[in-house]
Structure formats: structure tokens, C-alpha cells
Structure 1
Amino acid sequence: MNLLLKWKIWRIESALKNLVRAEGLKPMVWSFGAYYIDPKYLVFVVGVPTDTAKETLKSNSTFTASMKELLETFNWPIQARPEVVFDVESQETVDRENNGNWWYHYK
């Protein structure tokens, strides 16, 4: 089951990159969490260059809905879908708050 979930995560990350590129931005996308314990323990991070880009994406309800729809598209376990988190963060914020260290930013 873990390999299947890992494969689904990879496909969701790829689709997220395409969603962000469609908005005209160069994304960094990754995930973390203990999904192997329970699929609800999963966070997807969409990294964008600027605070302005972050706010634009976060305020775009269509983009937000499209991110969540990926869980259905790639058949993530139904009971876990409401708990999975999608976060949009900017390099500017990470630079300002954590000296550019994304790991510390999410620690």
C-alpha cells in the first residue's frame, strides 16, 4: 500500500506543478507527512518566488478547489481527503522568517 500511496503522491505533485505553471509561475512542489501511518497525515507545499504570487494563489478560489480536486482525480483514500493540507508559501517569506531554510520553516 505504501508504494501505491507514494506513486499517487508523485502524480499529485506533478499535477500541482502544472496547475501553478498554468498561472504563469515557476513552482517548487513537495510533500511531507506520515501518510504511511494514516493517509490523512499529508501536506503538499507549493513554493512560489514572491509574497505577491503567494497571495494571488491563496485568494484564487478556483486554484484552491483545483488543488483539492487532485485528491479525487488520483484516488486518494476518501476518508483522508478532508484532512490533507495544501499550503502555498513564498521564497520571500522563508528568506525573511527562516533565513531561506524551508526545512526550518515547516519544522
Structure 2
Amino acid sequence: MEKFFKNDSRLGIPVPDLDREWEWEAYPAEVQDRILLHWENIRGSIPDRIVDLEKIINKKQSQLEDEQDFKKSCCLNSEIAELASVINELWLWYRTSQDVTGKIHL
């Protein structure tokens, strides 16, 4: 399945990387089934990934509460914002829906 997915180091999950449009005639049915099954397994891991990132955010927010150095506070804020952005993108991937009648929006 590595052929159809690429690891996104920012998100911490593999994401679809199809070499052609998702159409029923573009990939044999057996390949489509394997791609969809693999995606559903990845998709199922997204909530756990989000929980892990939320824990990191909570830790950084606790550090921010006690931080006296302005530069360090700015850095922590930036890190928190980046993690929140990753969470937002993960939710978008999680909500990606499939239309079995012809197209998949990946």
C-alpha cells in the first residue's frame, strides 16, 4: 500500500497519494478495496493521534502559565498554535468521506 500512501511527518500519519483520479475505472476493484481498507485503518488511528497532540498542548499550556520569559512564552504559543493546526488538519482527514458510487475525496 506504500504505493498509494505517503507518510506525512507533520501529521504523523500516512495520507493518500494517488497517481490518478479516483474513478472506478482508474483502479481495479481489488486494488480499490485494499486502498479503502488501508485508509480506514489509518483513519481509525486519527482520534488517538489527536489525543496525543492534545496532551502535548496541555503540557505546553501549563508551561506557558509559569513562563516569565517573553521570548520563551512566544515560542510556546507558536508551538501550541502549530499543534492546534495539525489537529485541525487531522480532523479534516478524519472527516474525509467516501462516495462508493464513483469518487472518493482524499
| TM-score, normalized by the shorter chain, greater than 0.5 | no
User: Which structure has greater strand proportion?
Assistant: 1
Q: Which has the higher Rg, Structure 1 or Structure 2?
A: 2
Normalised by the size of structure 2, how large is the TM-score?
Answer: 0.29
Normalised by the size of structure 1, how large is the TM-score?
Answer: 0.29
